[in-house]
Amino acid sequence: MSKPECLVTGEMARLLPVVPETHKEQRATSILLATLSVVPALTREVLGVIGKKVGARSTIDAYTEVVFTNGLEKSVFRPDGLLVIDQGKPKEWKALIESKIGRTPLEEDQIRSYLAVAKANGVDAVITISNQFAALPTHHPIKVPKSAIKAVNLYHWSWMFLLTQSILFLKNSNEATGDQKFILSEVVRYLEHDKTGVSSFDRMAPEWRDLVTQVQSGAQLKKNCAEVTACIGSWHQEERDLCLIMSRKIACPVSVRLSRLHIGDPIKRVADDIDKLVKNSILECSLEVPDAAAHLDVKADLKRRSISCAMRLSAPKDKVHAPARINWLLRQISHVDPSDVFVRAQWPGRIQDTLVPLADVRADLKLLMPENGKSAPIAMEVLMIRDIAGKFGGPRTFIEQVELLVPEFYERIGQHLRSWIPKPPQMESSKSKHELTQNASEVGKEPNAEPAETPIPLQLPDMSSTT
């Protein structure tokens, strides 16, 4: 196999790389790239996330220890790999790979250097891989000038994302052969091992404790405060990690629910979340679960030191009265232990929302109704609210509590909820049509009309007599 023209040197990525034990980063990168080259169906799914289509007849090659033809003379950085997709015409698609393992962070200078190398060598994209998380592959955890990514696309994958994609592929895909499944299952086992250096997001920024203390003391937060910016960055990583955790638990992809504006402008997303934290002392996110009754909302309240999960359902329109609508929801969660569970009802007009513990609503529906008692709720929300007190301020314990509550809420409540679906319009029954026709004929019948002839029964001979 001849190497690409853009490389001076480069070794084919190996499933069993011969490298020193201390070179965990090099080992993990080689194993990953080799896997992508031998399991093309997985590569199509992984690259599909960044919008790159890979045809069934495409060839996939991967290289490590790469040195580019047009390198930067003063650069001290060396890329970890190169991924090449040959789809025939019009040209190959190439991506430079830079990976970090363990707690080693990505560096802005290094990324900018690789973007320049990629541009000089006709490489289409730079893909970074680390234990840092991003809501979308296009939302890179490291800010670089827009001018640096005009000619070369910049994407980011977390190791946990790649591990999750591999697990989902093994569970749900029928495209891989037996050998490919065996290889991929061994790679999953490797990435899941503690000594590999792949980890999930497990703690907020060090500034988290000070930020919570400031809010508790009544201090006014500032938008340009370093603590606020750092903690929003941490929360965004936690959002993505929550999606991956839920994806592995339910065996289908869960994603962060973002507006179109925030999808296209991650800087605007950060600014809006900073504004929300400063004004309301709240961190929140929304997860999209495939085929679920509603999106799953997660909220952390710094003033109350509580975290909550909720799903909101529109009330059934075929039920007019409030008790009927409330009972429609209660029947769906009749099995649920009411501890930590609340029901919120949204009412029309200017009537304020009502929030009541589930146990109390079960005992008396009127507690959830407004004083006038004549309106019917237009939507209802089921929440789990957990006060975690001292654990809230701990960078690690806060994340632990969030990652315990979200799967618990979905298992206890979320997976059992069903949204209201209006019944399809019904055809008139044959009986109704017959009755209408009969009535119409009776009304229009002429008084002298002759009655219909009565059929004469057929007389059969007696077969018992003998001739």
Domain ranges of the chain: 7-196, 208-416
**Which neighbouring-strand residues pair with 342?**
357, 383
Q: Using pLDDT thresholds of 50, 70 and 90, give the confidence band for residue 463.
A: very low
Task: Note the pLDDT of residue 22.
Answer: 84
What separation in angstroms does the CA of 121 have from each of 5, 8, 466?
A: 9, 11, 110
Mean pLDDT value across residues 218-246: 95
> Strand pairing of 306-314 and 296-301?
antiparallel
Q: Which two tokens stand for residue 79?
A: 């890329």
Instruction: Catalogue the long-range contacts made by 317-322 (C-beta closer than 8 Å, 24 or more residues apart).
Output: 317/420, 317/422, 318/420, 318/422, 318/423, 319/376, 320/376, 321/376, 322/365, 322/369, 322/373, 322/375, 322/376, 322/377
Say which residue, 424 or 160, is predicted with more confidence.
160
Q: At what angle do helices 178-192 and 159-172 cross, to 10 degrees?
A: 140
**Sign of the alpha-carbon dihedral angle for 151, 117, 148, 47:** positive
pLDDT of 8 strictly over 50 = yes
The C-alpha atoms of residue 161 and residue 274 are separated, in whole angstroms, by 26
Share of the chain above pLDDT 90, in %: 76
Q: Using pLDDT thresholds of 50, 70 and 90, give the confidence band for residue 72.
A: low
3-state secondary structure of 346: strand
**Which neighbouring-strand residues pair with 386?**
307
pLDDT of 443 strictly over 70 = no
The C-alpha atoms of residue 138 and residue 142 are separated, in whole angstroms, by 11
**From 9-13, 22-26, 308-312, 425-429, the region with the lowest mean pLDDT:** 425-429
Average pLDDT along the chain:
89
Q: Using pLDDT thresholds of 50, 70 and 90, give the confidence band for residue 43.
A: very high
Q: Which two tokens stand for residue 285?
A: 């996110």
* CA-based nearest residue to 118, from 72, 49, 76: 72
pLDDT digits (tens, 9 = 90+) for 343-387: 999 999 889 999 999 999 999 999 999 887 688 999 999 999 999
3-state secondary structure of 189: helix
Is residue 175 packed enough to be buried (19+ CB in 10 Å), middle (13-18) or exposed (0-12)?
Answer: middle
Phi, psi at 465, each rounded to 5°: -80, 150
Residues in the chain: 467
**From 242-251, 403-412, 447-456, the region with the lowest mean pLDDT:** 447-456
Q: Using pLDDT thresholds of 50, 70 and 90, give the confidence band for residue 88.
A: confident
Mean pLDDT value across residues 420-429: 85
pLDDT of 11 strictly over 70 = yes
Task: Note the pLDDT of residue 21.
Answer: 82
3-state secondary structure of 448: coil
The C-alpha atoms of residue 423 and residue 136 are separated, in whole angstroms, by 37
DSSP string, 366-386: GGGS-TT-----SEEEEEEEE
**Which neighbouring-strand residues pair with 384?**
309, 341
The C-alpha atoms of residue 31 and residue 306 are separated, in whole angstroms, by 42
DSSP string, 279-330: HH-EEEEEEE-TT-SS-EEEEEETTTTEEEEEEEEEPPTT--SHHHHHHHHH
Task: Note the pLDDT of residue 1.
Answer: 61
pLDDT of 111 strictly over 60 = yes
pTM of the model: 0.86
Q: Alpha helices of 121-225 — where are they, by DSSP H?
A: 159-172, 178-192, 208-216
Mean pLDDT value across residues 445-460: 43
Mean pLDDT value across residues 434-452: 48
